[in-house]
Chains A and B, each alone.
Chain A
Amino acid sequence: MTTFEKKIGRDRLFESYIWSWGLREDPFKLELPSIEAFAPFQRRDLRKLKRLFSGGKVGVLTGGLGTGKTTVCEFLVASLKEENLTESDPSKQIIPVFIHGAAYKSADELLRAIILGLEMDASKDRENLFEFLRRWPQEHQERLAILIDDLPESGADALDVGEFLRVLADIPNISILINGTFKQMERFLAKVPALADRIQTKIKLKPMTKKNLKELLELRLKNAGCVCYKDLLTPNGFKSLYKFSKGVPRSALKAASNAIHYAAETDAPIDARVVKRANKRSFLKRIFSFLM
């Protein structure tokens, strides 16, 4: 049997396993499958962010690797779009524009990305495009929320981008939310004190507590259609997942995904043994884990 055939066999095994639990696909995918699958473990912070968008202010979202900064932004964009569907008053609508900051290398490109996010013609010259944003409060009743993911990782000059965002922040009805890892964001803001002064909301995402992680994993299973999720993910399996991930959502989902694949091969529920076997690390990795 070739490796390919083995793999196909394993995929079929996995498919039949998840079907037997009432699932259609891997429930622990890293991408947010739908707005309902988001576990709002920091409700207070989300409320703060909502207020930020309605007030037209500047906010910063930081946190360690895999703590869910991008997922929070994606959730905000999706929920704002959903609210716009039911809200008929344009003055209460917030138009979200989500930009992956790391992909842009200058303030000019960032400006064009915002215009493209609004589905407008971005082929005009820079002055015209900026004029469109400058006259936003006069010409549009809606508010604009610009969410820039991983801004400090952008290859653009920090001063150039910082100044551009500062000017944008001064325009009424336009709010900006930038996110990145804590250290990188500190370094970025240190270079642009004028922008740092304008920041009104600073949120730092922390790893999840046991309760929050349980809520997240159960919500993912429930959302994927699993009715008896307590039988599929046993309490000791959950404990093992928490211990392994240390409460970081991305690590927890990755470990849970590995575990469900391994559980399909052994046709068993996700318990501590399955989690351990599925996520076993090499001897050296375990020894030097504090270095990684």
Chain B
Amino acid sequence: MLVIVRKGEVVEQKEKLYKMKEACKILGLHPNTIRLWDKQGKIKVVRPQGGQRRIPESEINRLLQGPSAVPPPPSTIPKDEGLSSFLNYVFSHHRDDWELVRKAVIIRDNYTCQECGGKELLEVHHKDGTSRNDPDNLVTLCQKCYNLVHKRARKMPAPQPITKPEAPAPKPEKPTKIQPPPVPEVTELPRHKILDDLKPTGLAQRTLFGDLLSATAVLKSFTLGDLATRAHCPEDVAKTFCERMSACGYLVSKNGMFEIHVRLAR
């Protein structure tokens, strides 16, 4: 606190303002972090004449107090009685909306890292390594634990349950490049082979499946409606086609979307 004394009387009491560089040094943060927190409203910053950011002493003290210095945005927290219904609603209707699911999981875990109990820089992690947005597959982790889990997952071939973060392992003598996960090979087959596998009931259905196969090859990723519109055929025929293609492994279904998993040979 800066105290201005004029003629032996306390005229004004002004709070000390820190420059960005000084604040960063005290808090041990990067200037960009402070700018981000300012944008997100996590920290109060004043801008005197000149427009540069100055951080008040009280804010620095608040941040230094403990890990819970940055409070969660109050508007997004549902009331306790409504929490379960809110989570139910999100996971049943908006499972594909990652931003909403992420927010819901963080709220469910009470803005706390489930590993170390930290409350800053929170991320949501998929336990099994897939992008399946199920409540039991998602967990809130802080950035540090998240990175640690991901590093471990890259080293290990199979996904492992999350364990407490340990001391970093000694560095290997020769750094090896991290190999990306192997991409399953897409087989290339002639049209007539694929249509033989689909076992059409007659020639009419065979030619119809041929039209649908052409539409599939063009669309690559589609819904039933898209396919039926593209091939100018009823949706129930498109459904039969997709079911048989999926049974043969030529189509992969994901959240109502189909993806072709075979290449047509010329």
Contact = CB atoms under 8 A, between A and B. Distances in A.
A and B part of one assembly: yes
B131 interface: no
A118 B207 contact: yes
Most A CB contacts (10 A, CB to CB) among B195, B207, B209, B211 go to: B207
Interface string A52-89: 00000000000000000000000000100100110100
B225 to A, nearest CB: 16
B21 interface: no
Contacts of B203: 90, 93, 95, 118, 140, 142
A81 B208 contact: yes
B206 interface: yes
Interface in B216-247: 232-234, 237
Given A34-B232, A78-B232, A119-B210, A95 B204 contact: yes
Contact of A85 (B190, B191, B237): B237
Interface in A102-143: 117-121, 123, 140, 142
Interface residues of B, number: 17
B202 interface: yes
Most B CB contacts (10 A, CB to CB) among A81, A117, A119, A123 go to: A119
Contact of B190 (A35, A87, A121, A140): A121
B192 interface: yes
Given A93-B202, A142-B202, A81 B207 contact: yes
Interface residues of A, number: 18
A34 to B, nearest CB: 7
B202 A90 contact: yes
B74 to A, nearest CB: 43
B209 A119 contact: yes
A288 B144 CA distance: 81
- Prevailing SS type, chain A contact patch: loop
Contacts of B233: 81, 85
A56 to B, nearest CB: 15
Nearest to B193: A121
Contacts of A34: 232
A85 B210 CA distance: 14
A34 B231 CA distance: 11
A144 to B, nearest CB: 8
A120 B192 contact: yes
Given A95-B203, A119-B207, A142-B203, A85 B192 contact: no
Interface in B88-127: none
Nearest to B195: A119
A46 to B, nearest CB: 19
Contacts of A140: 203
Contact of A84 (B190, B192, B208, B210): B208
Contacts of B190: 121, 123
B199 to A, nearest CB: 13
Contacts of B207: 81, 95, 117-119
B211 to A, nearest CB: 8
A119 B193 CA distance: 10
A250 B206 CA distance: 33
Contacts of A118: 203, 206-207
A78 B231 CA distance: 11
Most A CB contacts (10 A, CB to CB) among B190, B191, B203, B207 go to: B203
A186 to B, nearest CB: 33
Contacts of A120: 192
B204 A119 contact: no
A118 B200 CA distance: 13
B234 A119 contact: no
Nearest to A84: B204
Contacts of A142: 202-204
A101 to B, nearest CB: 20
A121 B208 CA distance: 16
Contacts of A117: 207
A93 B206 CA distance: 13
B206 A85 contact: no
Q: Closest 10 CB pairs between A and B?
A: A119-B210, A84-B204, A121-B192, A93-B204, A142-B203, A95-B203, A119-B206, A119-B195, A90-B202, A120-B192
5 contacts: A78-B232, A81-B208, A90-B203, A118-B207, A140-B203
Interface of B: 190-192, 195, 202-204, 206-211, 232-234, 237
